[in-house]
Structure 1
Amino acid sequence: MTGALIGLMQTARRLRGNKDGVGAVEFALIAPVLIILYMGSLEISVAMSVNKKLARASSTVADLITQEESVDKVYLTSMVNVVESVMTPFRSEGVRVKVTGIAINGAGNATASWSWQDNGSRPYSAGSTQTLPADLAIPNTFLVRTEVEFDHKLLLVLPGVSDIDIRTLKMAKTYHLRQRMGNSVTCSNC
């Protein structure tokens, strides 16, 4: 019995002094954390890029509409293609577009003159009160508001799991712009 105990103690001394494989063990402990940090930073940078493109798409639509004195549903429907072009290379089947013409009366109260949504409906009824940032509510003016929403699907987080809702980021951008010609932008069939 003492011989076995002595052999066990000698083996323990040899293992305690042996440094082979320490780097592999340290790597095995640190690698998962580093991989998660890398994937997270990639997801954040892609989401920031999508957010910038969404803001650019919203401002581009407002810019194009405010260059016109009058628009119609056909013209507004073409704005969906504009948004999809700006959002390239990101998948744009989750894009939703709303455009509203807002008249601000002499008292500074904003009401919807017309509105259009990409599904063909009216998101705001004519004459409905609209809330604007205080610095935009200038009496006797007109604004075009574009609202673009996008569901960004995350690339790397849990790729095989479909039951988890954190795989989609719901992003939205709103942009207000004044008309460039005339006193307002009208919509003939909105």
Structure 2
Amino acid sequence: MQNKAAGAVYQASRLGQDETGLAAVEFALILPIMLVLLLGMIEITSGFSTNRKVTMATRSLSDLVSQGTTTNDTDIQAVFVVGGYVLQPYAAAPLTATISQIRIDANKNATVVWSKSATFSGTGQSVAATVTKSAYTAGQSITVPVALQTAPSYPTFLIRSEVKYTYTPTIGYLIKDSIQMSQDTYTRPRQSGCVVYTGIYPTCT
């Protein structure tokens, strides 16, 4: 009888020390957590990367226009296309953009002198931009940062670019809804007092 009891105790002690399959059980327990963390990191990283691209596209638009002394519909469309390419490898279709020139007088009143918008299509090496009517009209009052209202002489001009992008998560596991990203940037004309727009704003007055 004692031998049987001792044998049962021995077998029980061996069972308690048996770790066969323990790693598989632990992996099965932590796998869902690991997948959630992985998918979350992918979505968050993609979102930050897209937002960075939106910022770069916004800066590119105002920077390119401000480097010229004149522009026209053809030039503006080309600038918009460049902005669409900056978003690579992300699709340009959810992108909308506006480029405006703003005039600030001696009383620091800011008004729009010309403005153009665009919608986009395509991705990769086939980005297209369609120039559309801007929501801003010539002579419309507009708010600009106080720090940009000061200039050595007046009137002074600013090139403003605005970009909006609808970001849709690639996986949609943690972030299920689309996110509206937007940026705006101001630059001063570099080669002249203003950027003349052929047929719309012929002189810097």
Contact 1:101 1:145 in 2 (8 A): yes
Matches of 1:189 and 1:15, distance apart in 2? 90
Q: Which residue of 2 aligns with 1:61?
A: 61
Contact 1:62 1:146 in 2 (8 A): yes
Contact 1:112 1:124 in 2 (8 A): yes
Contact 1:101 1:186 in 2 (8 A): no
Q: Which residue of 2 aligns with 1:6?
A: none
Matches of 2:145 and 2:25, distance apart in 1? 57
Matches of 1:127 and 1:156, distance apart in 2? 45
Listed as ranges, the matches of 1:7-156 within 5 Å are 19-118=19-118, 119-139=131-151, 140=154, 141-156=156-171
Contact 1:73 1:189 in 2 (8 A): no
Q: Which residue of 2 aligns with 1:178?
A: 188
Cα displacement (A) at 1:142: 0.6
SS at 2:53's partner residue?
helix
Q: Deviations over 1:115-171 (max 9, x none)?
A: 11115112211111111122112252210000112222211224xxxxx961x2221
Q: Structure 1: which 5+ runs fail to align?
A: 1-9, 159-163
Matches of 2:111 and 2:198, distance apart in 1? 17
Q: Which residue of 2 aligns with 1:157?
A: 172
SS at 1:120's partner residue?
strand
TM-score by length of 1: 0.81
Q: Percent identity?
A: 28
Q: Which one has a larger percent helix, Structure 1 or Structure 2?
A: 1
Contact 2:169 2:176 in 1 (8 A): no
Cα displacement (A) at 1:185: 1.4
**14-23 or 116-125: which moved more?**
14-23
Matches of 1:32 and 1:126, distance apart in 2? 57
Q: Which amino acid aligns with 1:174?
A: D
Matches of 1:54 and 1:32, distance apart in 2? 33
Q: Structure 2: which 5+ runs fail to align?
A: 1-8, 119-130, 201-205
Residue 26 and residue 152 in structure 1: after superposition, are their counterparts in 2 closer, same or farther (change >3 A)?
same
Matches of 2:77 and 2:45, distance apart in 1? 31
Cα displacement (A) at 1:113: 0.8
Matches of 1:143 and 1:19, distance apart in 2? 72
Matches of 2:53 and 2:42, distance apart in 1? 17
Q: Which residue of 2 aligns with 1:4?
A: none
Residue 90 and residue 104 in structure 1: after superposition, are their counterparts in 2 closer, same or farther (change >3 A)?
same
Matches of 1:157 and 1:165, distance apart in 2? 5
TM-score by length of 2: 0.76
